[in-house]
Every structure is written in structure tokens, then in C-alpha cells.
Amino acid sequence: MNQQEQRVYVVDDDQGMLDSTVWLLESVGLRALPFTSGQAFLAACDDQLPACVLLDVRMPGMGGLHVQEALRQRGLNLPVIFVSGHADVPIVVRAFKAGAVDFIEKPYNEQLLLDSVQQALASRARPAGGGDARLAEVQVRLDSLTPRERDVLLPLVRGYTNREVAEQLQISVKTVDLYRSRVMKRMQAESLPELVGMAIAAGLLDPLAVRD
């Protein structure tokens, strides 16, 4: 598939962020279509074209999670990547549970964003079951965790703070900080949302048990 045929819908009410994201995507040859509201995007999107969506979580009028739900209700099967400066665990879990392919925190790393977009575009052409290898990799990383690292992982992906984890495990906050760093490194997670996504994919996190 010709890369110029691929397009990325960029939905963000912050005009500066929207412009910079469009510029970044176009700098690597992708066609980026900007929208400052979820309503405008929904009126224009077409899932018959090779595309994915970069979607901000918090926008006036219609937030990103509601846009994602509207896509699902309309049967529009577009890979959704959330980009947000407010990546609290319940929101991340809702996004992944509803089918998001990634959740990236602002300010984002440019290469991380580009890699995520390319993976999302490639996923449309990937045969069913293509994610099995990635899930197997995640499981290998989980199996490499020590019992104490796993003890720290579980409350973290459920939304508890380091201090609350320390109280639960009766260890110091400094020790939790150390274990959290080790967990992120062993799981090869760049951010907490990425770690939450891995936990959900592996069936380790029950969305109904996530802290409100």
C-alpha cells in the first residue's frame, strides 16, 4: 500500500498542538487531516480508507472517549490512538477496553508517536491473530517479574499512588519508587498508560476492579 494513500485523522482542540502534530506526520510523508472537534471529525471520517485516528481525551463539547464510542456505534473500525496530558488510570483503562490501540501522554516523544501511528496503520492490513506474538512477548516480561515486583505492579495499574502502594505493602515510598522503576524497565514500558495496556492485554487487570 502506497504511504501517500494512508491518512491520519488528528483531533485536538488545541490549535498549536494540532498544527505541530500535522507537521510532524506530514514530515514523514503521511497525509494528516486536522479537526478541532469530535463532531467535525465524525462528520468527515471514512473507514473505507487506510487510516487511523489520533484523538485527544479532553475536548469541549465531545470528549475523546465519547468520540470513540460514537465510532463504535456507527460500526467505523478505525484504529484509535489517544494523546492526552491527563492519563489517569481509569481513563486509560476505559480507552483500552473500548479498543484503543495506544495511549500516549503529552508532551509526546515524536518518534514514539510516529511508531504508534505506523503500527496502527499496519494493523488494518494485518491478518487476524497477528497480535499473538506481541501478547506472548508481554507474557514473557510478566513472567520475568519477581514476586515483590508483581506486588507493586498490580496496585499501580489499578490507579493507586506510590504512597498508597507503600501503605498496602508496608514498605517505604522510596522502596516503591525503586520497584516501580524496575517494573517499568522489565516490562519495557515507557509510561504508566503503556503498562496499563499490557496488563489489560495479558488479562492481568480486571477493568471492574480499577479504582475510581
Q: Choose one of 104, 123, 142: the last residue of a domain.
A: 123
Integer Cα distance of 84 and 80 in angstroms: 13
What is the domain-level CATH number for residue 164?
1.10.10.10
Q: Choose one of 123, 150, 171: the last residue of a domain.
A: 123
C-alpha cell at 51: 487510516
What is the domain-level CATH number for residue 91?
3.40.50.2300
Report whether 175 contacts 166 (CB < 8 A): yes
The residue segments making up the domain with residue 17 are: 3-123
Per-residue pLDDT of the chain (212 residues; tens, 9 = 90+): 455 568 999 999 999 999 999 999 999 999 999 999 999 999 998 777 789 999 999 999 899 999 999 998 988 889 999 998 877 788 888 888 888 989 999 888 999 999 999 988 887 655 444 556 777 888 888 888 888 999 999 999 988 999 999 999 999 999 999 999 999 999 998 888 889 888 888 888 776 556 65
Q: Choose one of 101, 123, 145: the last residue of a domain.
A: 123
Verify that 114 and 73 share a domain, yes or no.
yes
Q: What is the pLDDT of residue 10?
A: 97
pTM greater than the 0.85 cutoff: no
Distance set, CA 167 to CA 156, 160, 164, 173 (Å) = 13, 11, 5, 8
Q: What is the pLDDT of residue 37?
A: 95
